[in-house]
Amino acid sequence: MENSSLSREKLKAHNATEKHHEGGSKHDTFSMKTPMSRDRAGTMQSESSTGTGTHSKLKLQRLRHKIKLVTGSFSKSGSESQITKHFENTYRTEPKNGTRFKTKAAEDIISQVLDGNLKGKPYDSKKFPNLAKSLAELIKERVKNSGCERYKIVAHVTILENKGQSLRQVSRSLWNKETDNYATVSFEGNGFTAIGSVFATYYD
């Protein structure tokens, strides 16, 4: 009986020892997993923070580039451009000597343009509308380059086919008669009439 009771006690002690070892192994396994999960979380956090930092840097670079484009530090192509100079208002209310609009010079320019581009040409209803636009642009540029400074130039060209009808072209302007003026020239072509006009207004 004593032997059997001793063997039972030994068995209980043995079982208790095994349970203790199993619990310890589970605890050890859990303790081993915990630092690994922390390491992984730390790695993921560092990766996400690195990605956020890169995104912020790219965003800052784009903003700086936009600011440089707006301020004129760089051109659209990315190369450095020259600084634009800004001049103060001169408050001049009349043209300088030799820069006033000259009616005779403008009339000569209109005559040269109309005669040089319309002489000997028959009326063409398909080509003449665009030709009238081109002639008006050419007259405007030549008058601007003739020496009249600080003038706003408006050029107008009308080409009309002659079919026995009458035409009256009238214009009215509100301007300073001391500085502003106009010039008009008519050209008789092969079956058509062309009228070129230039209006020049001085601005201060």
Residues 127 and 186 in one domain: yes
Residues 142 and 59 in one domain: no
The answer to whether 149 and 99 have CB atoms below 8 angstroms apart is yes
Asked if residue 96 belongs to a domain, the reply is no
Q: Which pTM was predicted? A: 0.56
Residues 109 and 198 in one domain: yes
CATH of the domain at 119: 3.30.1140.40
Helices within the chain (DSSP H only): 2-71, 103-118, 128-144
103-118 and 128-144 helices, crossing angle to 10°: 150
Nearest to 180 by CA among 196, 147, 197, 203: 203
- For residue 25, the model assigns a pLDDT of 45
Residues 143 and 65 in one domain: no
Residues 127 and 190 in one domain: yes
Residues 52 and 114 in one domain: no
- Which of 61, 86, 111 is the C-terminal boundary of a domain? 86
Highest-confidence segment of 34-48, 54-68, 161-175, 181-195: 181-195
- Which of 27, 59, 86 is the C-terminal boundary of a domain? 86
- For residue 202, the model assigns a pLDDT of 93
- Which of 86, 112, 139 is the C-terminal boundary of a domain? 86
Residues 33 and 115 in one domain: no
Determine the structural domain holding residue 118 and report its residue range: 103-202
What is the three-class DSSP state of 89? coil
Q: What total of structural domains would you count in the chain? A: 2
* Lowest mean pLDDT, pick from 33-42, 63-72, 114-123: 33-42
Asked if residue 41 belongs to a domain, the reply is yes
- How far apart are the C-alpha atoms of 18 and 16, rounded to whole Å? 5
